[in-house]
Amino acid sequence: MLYFSKLKIISVLIFTIVISFFTISNFIKLDNDLFKRNINLGLDLQGGSYLLLEIDNSPVIIQKLQSKLSSLKKFLKDNDIRSTNFKIIDDKKISFVVDENSKDKVLSLLKDEESEINPYFQRFKTHEFDVEESKELSSSNINLQYSEYGLVLLKSSSQDQAIEIVRRRVDEIGTNEPNILKRGSDRILVELPGLDNPDRIKSLLGKTANLTFRFVTQSEEESFGTERIPYQDEEGDAIVSKRIILSGDNLVDAQPRMDNQANETVVSFTLDRVGAKKFAKATTSGVGKNLAIILDGKIISAPSVREPIVGGSGQITGGFTFQTATDLALLLRSGALPAPMKIIEERTVGPDLGQDSIDAGILSLIIGFALVVIFMIIKYRIFGFIANIALITNLLLLIGILTLFEATLTLPGIAGIILTVGMAVDANVLIYERIKEEIKSENNKILAFDSGYVKSKTTILDANITTLIAALILFILGSGPVKGFALTLGVGILTTLFSVYFIARLLTSLYVIKNKDKEKLI
């Protein structure tokens, strides 16, 4: 029946009023923290920066091959298989020579996914590596290289790690609603709404942040186990040991602070339990030596170890300003990228373009809304007026819910709102036309209106649910603006059903019950 209980009426009114307050919070300032939420505008509306990053996976492949090579040596040695001439060819293949009598056994083990060699290799499977006998060298020479599938897995893993690190770095800066997405197998798209000058973020994203601690040697010439590394902010270089005392993986936290004694800005760091133990052991045995702090292949500083550092914390000096110290601490906290990245495309969307988009979207919404309002009043008179009230409520609820979750509104999102207006009107048209049919065969006006709502429900639900499924698929599989369109469309469908079957039906029931004796209602 058209009857609404007082509890249902009060519940509908409270829900509508509360959500509408969130809509209002976008236009006026409210002191209540709960209502300080706003809809965020996307890159296409408020302007900002667009960066396309490309991952260089070559170092990752080499590093993985070196790791596999060490594991392979250990396996062959443990199984008393004579092997020599281990090397990596063209940064793509592991090549080694085995005893002629052991060749068949080694090939069998390498090609058998269930063999005992697997514990020595992390996911060292046939489908990830191609195993072959070299035809260019002796018959006992074996080559291993990544298969196409193995390269896809490696790149995917590297990309996933890079996205997480990029997200941490961007979030640390406090950029509002960044959009970070995969592009292909080795690219990452970063959209930064409202950021007109991306120089700082470009600098941060362009650094791998691979931190290591290594002792400086006393020798003035390179020798086995050492290498020459330049200083970052000054001329010259130093010969340092290749043995890594500590890496950035052992850092728990890093913060910039002012060292009052030295009157300089430093980066203080805290180590995890394993890192603290390693650092304590190294600094205990290395008192008097210089400990080089190396970031991305350059020495930041090389302070002398005056006493053992056993507390699991320390500080990095290097003539930092507070800004550079803050950025270094941010890089260390967010972790090192798995591979170097470079910016291959950069665009800045100006605020004028964003404002033009907003104005065009608002204008189209106003025109469409006004035409719908006029049509409904002409076609259905008082019930058209009720449908228009429900339509306005629908928009208030839609914007309020988007505000509640601080969603990002894009230009396609505005298109989704406009589409919602059309779907909301369509539902009311279906109901009113069904009511007209029911009145022809039912003398009781209340029963006729109630039947109109009940019998049209299936059609309306079917249409809206199928559209909602499409919106969900677009939201799950889509990206960027497509997600924005799917979000507003999906929320709009839910608010449409609420406004039609609660707001419009409530107002209709009140009017029909009061005017049930009129000869013609619709």
Q: What is the mean pLDDT of residues 347-358?
A: 68
| Shared domain check, 33 and 143 | no
Paired with 409 in beta bridges are: 41
191 domain residue, yes or no: no
| Shared domain check, 307 and 398 | no
Looking at residue 136, its pLDDT comes to 47
For the cut 70, the answer to whether the pLDDT of residue 406 exceeds it is yes
Q: 193-208, pLDDT tens digit by residue?
A: 877 667 888 888 888 8
| Shared domain check, 130 and 78 | yes
Using 50, 70 and 90 to split pLDDT, how confident is the model at 346? confident
Q: What is the mean pLDDT of residues 15-30?
A: 84
Query: Angle, to 10 degrees, between the axis of helix 411-441 and the axis of helix 382-404?
Result: 150
- Identify whether the C-beta of residue 43 lies closer than 8 Å to the C-beta of residue 179: yes
Please state, in angstroms and rounded to a whole number, the distance separating the CA atoms of residues 163 and 174: 17
| Shared domain check, 332 and 373 | no
| Shared domain check, 478 and 367 | yes
Looking at residue 53, its pLDDT comes to 93
Looking at residue 425, its pLDDT comes to 86
Looking at residue 175, its pLDDT comes to 67
Looking at residue 114, its pLDDT comes to 57
Tell me which of 284, 313, 336 is where a domain ends. Answer: 336
Please state, in angstroms and rounded to a whole number, the distance separating the CA atoms of residues 217 and 134: 41
51 domain residue, yes or no: no
Please state, in angstroms and rounded to a whole number, the distance separating the CA atoms of residues 433 and 448: 12
Tell me which of 151, 167, 188 is where a domain ends. Answer: 151
| Shared domain check, 413 and 270 | no
Please state, in angstroms and rounded to a whole number, the distance separating the CA atoms of residues 129 and 264: 52
Q: Which helix (H) or strand (E) holds 69?
A: helix 58-78
| Shared domain check, 236 and 136 | no
| Shared domain check, 501 and 390 | yes
288 domain residue, yes or no: yes
| Shared domain check, 484 and 405 | yes
Domain CATH code at residue 464: 1.20.1640.10
Count of domains forming the chain: 3
Highest mean pLDDT among 134-148, 352-366, 381-395, 418-432: 381-395
310 domain residue, yes or no: yes
| Shared domain check, 39 and 69 | no
Looking at residue 55, its pLDDT comes to 92
Backbone phi, then psi, for 504, in 5-degree steps?
A: -65, -40
Q: Which among 67, 85, 267 is positioned nearest to 154, based on CA atoms?
A: 67
Tell me which of 336, 363, 383 is where a domain ends. Answer: 336
Q: What is the mean pLDDT of residues 480-486?
A: 80
| Shared domain check, 33 and 132 | no
Using 50, 70 and 90 to split pLDDT, how confident is the model at 120? very low
294 domain residue, yes or no: yes
413 domain residue, yes or no: yes
Q: What secondary structure does DSSP assign to 150-170, as a single string? A: HHHHHHHHHHHHHHHHHHHHH
| Shared domain check, 447 and 401 | yes
Q: Supply the mean pLDDT for the chain.
A: 82
421 domain residue, yes or no: yes
Q: 357-366, pLDDT tens digit by residue?
A: 667 777 887 8
Q: 40-75, pLDDT tens digit by residue?
A: 777 777 778 888 999 998 888 888 888 778 778 887
For the cut 50, the answer to whether the pLDDT of residue 145 exceeds it is yes
Residue-range definition of the domain harbouring residue 323:
211-336
For the cut 90, the answer to whether the pLDDT of residue 137 exceeds it is no
Bridge-based pairing of strands 237-241 and 226-230 is antiparallel
Domain CATH code at residue 221: 3.30.1360.200
Of the listed ranges 43-47, 124-128, 502-506, the one predicted with least confidence = 124-128
52 domain residue, yes or no: no
Q: What's 282's DSSP letter?
A: H
- Beta strand residue intervals within 353-476, DSSP E: 408-409
- Structure token pair of residue 475: 């939201």
